[in-house]
Copies of this chain bind each other. A is one copy, B any other.
Amino acid sequence: MTTDAKKGSRDRLLEAAAALAYAEGVGVGVEALCRAAGVSKRSMYQLFESKDELLAASLKERAPAVTARLLPGADDTGSPRARMLHVFEQVEAQSAAPTYRGCPFLAVQVELKDPDHPASRVARAAKGELLDFFRGEAERGGASDPALLARQLVLVFDGISARAGVGAETPDGLLLPTVTTLLDAAGVR
């Protein structure tokens, strides 16, 4: 393969792995991944050591965009409270899509059941960024216990992600009232 062809195959495999793992689960087969990417299995194994490595790489590639769709933009000048609420407003909006299956980083970890799997490690690191964001805003917002508030918000984030992702719940009238209660209790006005 030329360098360009390699890059094209690599990108298509990363995209197929992210899309299929999200829609169908990490159990998606190598054949299906290669078919969706239009890449031969031989080429796949030249680019990635294993399906596990492909999964991990696809999550890593995808993480910045997923995070960007949740956090306030660089030009945002809102209060810490508004910036934290922004994340949950995004979740509420995103969960309305019929293709919504919750947070991809949570789903991968639940499915793999192995914290040491390369994709679990990538997923945990991506989620760590969300925790750090909440922690920073909680500190700036004068939370009584910023570390606790940050953990609470990720707890609620993953709770709604899991429940709305499987169609057992919707955020309507639940998510923002819950987050507001926790922000109020922490003294973040």
Pick the most buried of A111, A163, A184: most chain B CB atoms within 10 A of its CB. Answer: A163
Q: Is A102 a contact of B109 with CB atoms below 8 Å?
A: no
Q: Choose the segment among A36-44, A71-79, A175-183 that binds chain B (4+ C-beta atoms closer than 8 Å).
A: A175-183
CA distance A154 to B174 in the complex (A): 11
In this complex, what residue of B is CB-closest to A175? Answer: B155
User: Considering the chains assembled together, what is the distance between the CA atoms of A94 and B162 in angstroms?
Assistant: 20
Residues of B within 8 A of A165 (CB): 110
Cβ proximity bits A144-168 to B, threshold 8 Å, 1 near / 0 not: 0000100110111111111101111
**Contact residues of A between 5 and 61, Cβ < 8 Å to B:** 23-25, 27
Most interface-central of A160, A165, A181 (chain B CB within 10 A): A181
What would 6 more interface pairs be, CB under 8 Å, given A156-B156, A178-B182, A184-B185?
A27-B27, A124-B168, A154-B169, A155-B159, A155-B163, A155-B169
Interface positions of A (Cβ within 8 A of B): 23-25, 27, 101-102, 106-107, 109-113, 115, 120, 124, 127, 148, 151-152, 154-163, 165-169, 173-174, 177-178, 181-182, 184-185
